[in-house]
Chains A and B, each alone.
Chain A
Amino acid sequence: MKLLRLVAIAGAACLAAGNAFAASTNVAVAANFTDAAKEIAAAFKQKTGHEAVLSFGSSGQLFTQINQDAPFQVFLSADAARPEKLADSAPGVAGSNFTYAIGKLVLWSKAPDAVKGEQTLKDGKFAKLSICNPVAAPYGAAAVATMKSLKVYDNLKPKLVEGANITQAYQFVQTGNAEVGFVALSQVINDKDGSRWVVPQNLYAPIRQDAVLLKKGADNEAATAFMSFLKGPEARAIIEKYGYQAGERS
């Protein structure tokens, strides 16, 4: 029993210490922002001592889970519509949504000379082109918009293969199952080999990625600190480094 009491005391001490110095917050993050979010969480911990525990998934999935009372306190979406919906409804904190990053779409291939700008799409010399679900995922919608702007969508439609999210769309190209694919620039920012074409912003509507504070995090110091940290210079630098345009400033 002595041991039990010791454990209880130690546990209580840990909890008390935790409350005094650092809190932790559960953050739901859209799959495309995975690497950047990890680095931001590390910088956040270094600066504030708070822990941001990250969960990754597709925006649609996370949105559904949050509406079903999932224990998330902050939501970093891959779109602007869902955080707006959350801010206007029960799970979100009204007016807390803001743009933290603007995504860049890229046409990418593992082969060094496969992608040569928009001509690659016009020539269509490939068997499969991977995108992610255009109805559910913003990068998928941007890919379709790009093909429509270039008037190649109808030609390429039979060659499209769909990943459930941007990570899968990338896997199809990474494993060579699709020769080319539309992915997020952030995913291939560190891939030195292969070939890429960063799609000009005028071919698709900007992929605004918004964050929203959820009611479960409204009273948590770590959650609110994370929201403001996202607008700060450290986070903005990381966001740019990963191939996004940074969003709002603090």
Chain B
Amino acid sequence: MGGLPDDIWQPVRLTIELAAITTVILLVIGTPIAWWLARSKARWKEGVAAVVALPLVLPPTVLGFYLLVLLGPDGPGGALANLWGGRTLAFTFAGLVIGSVIYSMPFVVQPIRNAFAAIGDRPLEVAATLRASPTRAFWTVAIPLARPGFLSGAVLGFAHTVGEFGIVLMIGGNIPGSTKVLSVAIYDYVETSQWREASILAGGMAVFAFVVILTMMLLEKRTARIRG
């Protein structure tokens, strides 16, 4: 990369780290939520589904401000930070992870939920008649069948976290190496009229987004072929 400032790589690395960690956490906590949403008969199920989907409609500034309060010294985040001698989780990488997990949750939970719902009762009933315990049926039947859902959830969650901007701007404090991710770096370059650097980063992100969307479409096509 000719003539690029060195500090361009730090936000790239940081962004990939943030997106990877967020995706892993979301797969771990999103899967049981998706399973419950897909299988439960509870009346208030859709209420929970709506709460999970809220970040889709809440403006990031609103979410960002609530997070500032929650992560701050007077909120639970401050109590958590106290454990290792901090005052607040704002301006920290951990704070960004918490914000991203909340913000990207619908993108991971939704595809997995749909995949679980698409399996239907039958395969699990068959597993039960063959004396598989519910846990075993979940791991050996449900998870493999829902694999395309996990793939799209992971790809979407990752991509959405990479593109996240408003919340990071609100709770990050723009600290190089710990909270200055790609989207904020681009914003910074634009704000300070460094159009060349901004264009390079934005162009790179556009290519990345294109690849992600293309991958998603190819995955869908393959799934359709297998199912069809």
- A residues at B contact (CB < 8 Å): 58, 60-61, 64, 127-128, 130, 133, 135-136, 161-164, 168, 171-172, 175-179
Contact = CB atoms under 8 A, between A and B. Distances in A.
Contacts of A176: 72-74, 78, 88
A128 B88 contact: yes
Contact of B174 (A61, A127, A162): A162
B173 A162 contact: yes
A135 B173 contact: no
17 contacts: A60-B193, A133-B174, A136-B192, A161-B90, A161-B91, A162-B175, A164-B187, A168-B169, A168-B170, A172-B68, A175-B74, A176-B78, A177-B73, A177-B87, A177-B88, A177-B91, A178-B91
B192 A135 contact: yes
Given A135-B191, A171-B65, A171-B68, A177 B90 contact: yes
A135 B174 CA distance: 13
Interface string B56-75: 00000000010011011110
B200 interface: no
A163 to B, nearest CB: 7
B196 to A, nearest CB: 15
B190 interface: yes
Listed residue (B69, B169, B174, B188) with the most chain A CB atoms within 10 angstroms of its CB: B174
Where chain A touches its partner, the secondary structure class is: loop
Closest 9 CB pairs of A and B: A161-B173, A136-B191, A162-B174, A177-B90, A135-B192, A177-B72, A177-B88, A175-B68, A60-B191
A133 B188 contact: yes
Contacts, number: 69
A85 to B, nearest CB: 11
Contacts of A168: 169-170
A222 B74 CA distance: 46
Nearest to A164: B169
Contacts of A58: 191
A168 B170 CA distance: 7
Nearest to B191: A136
B169 A127 contact: no
B134 to A, nearest CB: 45
Contacts of A162: 173-175
Contact of B191 (A128, A130, A133, A175): A133
Given A172-B68, A177-B68, A177-B91, A163 B191 contact: no
Listed residue (A60, A136, A163, A177) with the most chain B CB atoms within 10 angstroms of its CB: A177
A175 B65 CA distance: 9
A18 B173 CA distance: 45
Nearest to B170: A168
A152 B183 CA distance: 31
B88 to A, nearest CB: 5
Contacts of B68: 171-172, 175, 177
Listed residue (B78, B191, B192) with the most chain A CB atoms within 10 angstroms of its CB: B191
Contacts of A128: 87-88, 91, 173
B174 A164 contact: yes
A205 B95 CA distance: 35
Given A64-B190, A162-B173, 18 more contacts: A60-B191, A128-B87, A128-B88, A135-B192, A136-B188, A136-B192, A161-B91, A161-B174, A162-B174, A172-B90, A175-B65, A175-B69, A176-B73, A176-B78, A176-B88, A177-B72, A177-B87, A178-B91
Contacts of B74: 175-176
Interface in B87-101: 87-88, 90-91
B173 A130 contact: yes
Contacts of A61: 191
